């Protein structure tokens, strides 16, 4: 019996730097927001048949990890549909009303390789985040960031 062949994508989400923000980020990056934006892009660019064919591999536990602070996520897609999903991700221009750009950091056939790439990137992003806020974090934010690192370390299929 052949198992389900997967591709794992580690992506980061950049908010539009040209947009002036009033306070905090205008959106909260969640699994639901990102999935909806990708589904909308597949529908617009590949039609209903494209959405239906990729929907089977893009359901349920396809989002392995999403961090709303550093805006890093890991997505699992079937090997047959990953090119379509990747193309749709590059054509996403907004999540909600906020312009965004996705950057694919790593594409792999195993969760272990993606986990290692995500850990490296997440640790660098956390250090940059700490520097941008002045080196000290509130206890709850620091705990949330440490919890995110622990989530990556225990990722499984």
Q: Which two tokens stand for residue 42?
A: 């597949």
Q: How confident is the model at residue 22 (pLDDT cuts 50, 70, 90)?
A: very low
d(CA 56, CA 83): 15
56 is in which domain, residue-wise? Answer: 6-18+25-153
Q: What is the mean pLDDT of residues 62-86?
A: 88
Lowest-pLDDT choice from 85-94, 118-127, 136-145 = 136-145
Task: Quick: pLDDT tens for 114-135.
Answer: 889 989 988 888 888 778 777 6
Q: How far apart are CA 77 and CA 85, in angstroms?
A: 8
For residue range 91-118, what is the model confidence (pLDDT) as tens digits? 998 888 888 999 999 999 988 998 899 8
Q: Is residue 1 part of a domain?
A: no
- The whole-angstrom separation of Cα 49 and Cα 84 is 12
Q: Looking at residue 128, which CATH number applies to its domain?
A: 3.30.70.3250
Is the pLDDT score of 27 beyond 80?
A: no
Mean confidence (pLDDT) of the chain: 83
Residue with tokens 């009033």: 22
According to the per-residue pLDDT averaged within each range, which of 12-16, 61-65, 104-108 is highest? Answer: 104-108
Is 104 within a domain? yes
Does 76 reside within a domain? yes
**So what's the pLDDT on residue 81?**
86
Look at the chain and report how many structural domains it folds into. 1
Cα–Cα distances in Å, from 44 out to 50, 65, 94, 141?
9, 25, 13, 37
pLDDT at 63: 86
Residue 23 has pLDDT above 80, yes or no: no
């Amino acid at each position: 019996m052949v198992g389900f062949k997967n591709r794992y994508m580690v992506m980061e989400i950049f908010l539009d730097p040209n947009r002036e923000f009033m306070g905090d980020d205008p959106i909260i990056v969640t699994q639901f927001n990102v999935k909806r934006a990708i589904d909308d892009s597949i529908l617009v660019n590949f039609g209903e048949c494209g959405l239906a064919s990729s929907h089977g591999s893009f359901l349920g536990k396809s989002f392995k990890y999403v961090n709303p602070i550093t805006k890093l996520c890991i997505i699992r897609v079937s090997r047959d549909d990953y090119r379509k999903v990747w193309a749709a991700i590059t054509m996403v221009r907004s999540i909600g009303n906020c312009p965004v750009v996705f950057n694919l950091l790593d594409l792999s056939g195993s969760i272990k390789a993606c986990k290692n790439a995500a850990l490296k990137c997440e640790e660098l992003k956390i250090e940059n985040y700490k520097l941008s806020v002045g080196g000290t974090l509130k206890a709850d934010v620091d705990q949330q960031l440490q919890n995110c690192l622990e989530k990556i370390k225990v990722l499984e299929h």
